[in-house]
Chains A and B, each alone.
Chain A
Amino acid sequence: MNRASDLEIRAAFLAIADVLIPEADGAPSASGAEAGATFERILTLRPDLQEAFRRGVQAVAHKEPAAAARALNVEDPEALAAIGLVAAAAYYMNPRVRELIGYPGQEKRAFDPTATPEYVANGMLQAVVDRGPIYRATPK
Chain B
Amino acid sequence: MAADRGSKVADVLIVGAGASGLVAAKHLTENGFNVVCLEQGQRVDSSEFWGDKPEFELMTQKRWHPNPNVRDLESDYPIDTSESDVPILMYSAVGGSTILYGAHWQRLMPSDFRARTLDGVAEDWPFAYEDLEPFYDEMDVEVGVSGLGGDPAYPPGKAPPLPPLPIGRIGMKAAEGMNKLGWHWWPGPNSINSLPYRGRNPCGLLATCRNGCTEGAKASFDLTHLPAALQHGLRLVTGARVREIAVNEQGLASGAIYVDRNGRERRQLARVVIVCCNGVGTPRLLLASKSAKFPEGLANSSGLVGKNLMLHPYVTVVGHFDEPLESWLGPNGQSIQSMQFYETDARRGFARGAKWHVLPSGGPLGAPPTPGLAFDEQWGLAFHRNREKTFGRSFEWGIMVDDLPDEANRVVLHPTLTDSDGVPAPKIIYNYSENTRRLAAFHLERAKEAMYASGAVALTVRPLMVDRSQHNTGASLMATGHLMGTCRMGGDPKTSVVNQWGQAHDVPNLFVYDGSVFVTSSGFNPAGTICAVALRSVKHLIAERRNQKVAA
Footprint of B on A, CB under 8 Å? 19-22, 24-25, 27, 42, 45-46, 48, 69-70, 73-74, 77-78, 80-81, 84-85, 88-89, 92-93, 101-103, 105-109, 111, 113-114, 117-119, 124-125, 127-129, 131-139
A119 touches B368 (CB 8 A): no
A88-B369 in contact (CB<8A): yes
A124 contact set on B, CB distance < 8 A: 175-176, 179
A24 touching B176 by the CB < 8 A rule? no
How far is A22 from B56 in the complex, measured between Cα atoms in Å?
A: 24
Residues of A within 8 A of B204 (CB): 108-109
Across the two chains, which residue of chain B brings its CB closest to A76?
A: B371
A-B contact pairs, 21 of them (CB 8 A): A20-B383, A27-B384, A69-B375, A84-B378, A89-B55, A101-B387, A101-B392, A103-B392, A117-B166, A117-B167, A119-B175, A119-B187, A124-B176, A128-B179, A128-B185, A132-B152, A134-B153, A134-B342, A135-B110, A136-B110, A139-B114
CB of B524 within 8 A of chain A? no
Tell me, yes or no, whether B59 is within 8 Å of chain A by CB.
Answer: yes
Chain A residues within 8 Å of B114, by CB: 138-139
A105 x B54 contact (CB < 8 A): yes
**Residues B204-233 near A (CB distance < 8 A):** 204-208, 215
Contact assessment for A106 and B195 in the assembled complex, using a CB-CB cutoff below 8 Å: no
| A92 CB contacts on chain B under 8 angstroms | 57, 363-365
Question: For residue B150, which residues in chain A have a CB less than 8 angstroms away from its CB?
Answer: 129
Q: Which residues of B contact A84 (CB under 8 A)?
A: 369, 378-379
Which chain A residues lie closer than 8 Å to B111 at the CB level?
135-136, 138
Extra A-B contacts (18), CB below 8 Å, given A73-B379, A139-B118 = A19-B379, A20-B383, A27-B384, A81-B368, A89-B365, A103-B392, A107-B206, A108-B204, A108-B206, A109-B205, A113-B194, A119-B167, A128-B184, A133-B153, A135-B111, A135-B153, A137-B155, A139-B117
B54 cross-chain contacts in A, Cβ below 8 A: 93, 105
When the two chains form the complex, which single residue of A85, A101, A114 contacts B368, counting CB atoms closer than 8 Å? Answer: A85
Q: How far is the CB of A95 from chain B (nearest CB, A)?
A: 8
Q: How far is the CA of A134 from the CA of B370 in the complex (A)?
A: 41
Q: B11-53: which residues lie under 8 A (CB-CB) from chain A?
A: 51-52
When chains A and B are docked, how far (Å) is the Cα of A24 from the Cα of B384? 8
Residues of A within 8 A of B52 (CB): 106-108
Known: A73-B375, A80-B371, A84-B379. A111 touches B146 (CB 8 A): no
Selected from B55, B164, B195, B339, the residue in CB contact (under 8 A) with A134 is B339
B206: A residues at CB distance < 8 A: 106-108
CB distance from B128 to the nearest CB of A (A): 5
Expressed in whole angstroms, the minimum distance between the Cβ of A44 and any Cβ of chain B is: 11
A70 touches B375 (CB 8 A): yes
Q: How many angstroms between the C-alpha atoms of A84 and B365 in the bound complex?
A: 11
For B362, give the chain A residue with the smallest CB separation: A106
B175 cross-chain contacts in A, Cβ below 8 A: 119, 124-125
| Contacts A103-B392, A128-B179 given; does A111 touch B166 at CB 8 Å | yes
Residues of chain B with a CB closer than 8 A to A85's CB: 58, 61, 368-369
How far is B381's CA from A111's CA once the two chains are assembled, in angstroms?
A: 37
Greatest chain A CB density within 10 A among B52, B167, B339, B387 is at B387
A77→B477 CA distance, assembly (Å)? 19
| B152 in complex: contacting residue of A88, A128, A137, CB < 8 Å | A128
Q: In the complex, what residues of A have CB within 8 A of residue B215's CB?
A: 108
B184 / chain A contacts, CB cutoff of 8 Å: 128, 131, 134
* Distance in angstroms between the alpha carbons of A25 and B215 in the assembled complex: 37
Chain A residues, Cβ within 8 Å of B205: 108-109, 111
Chain B residues near A108 (CB, 8 Å)? 52, 204-206, 215
B340 proximal to A (CB < 8 A): yes
Q: Is the CB of A102 within 8 A of B392?
A: yes
CA distance A128 to B174 in the complex (A): 13
Interface: B489 (CB within 8 A): no
The complex places the Cα of A91 from the Cα of B165 at a distance, in Å, of 32
Q: Which residue of B lies closest to A72 (CB)?
A: B375
Find out whether the CB atom of B165 lies under 8 angstroms from the CB atom of A113. yes
Contacts of A102 in B (CB 8 A): 324, 392
Q: Are B130 and A138 in contact (CB under 8 A)?
A: yes
Contact of A77 among B61, B129, B340, B371 (CB under 8 A): B371
Task: Decide if B145 is an interface residue (CB 8 Å cutoff).
Answer: no
Contact B364 A103 (CB under 8 A): yes
A residues within 8 A CB of B370?
81
Contacts of A81 in B (CB 8 A): 368-372
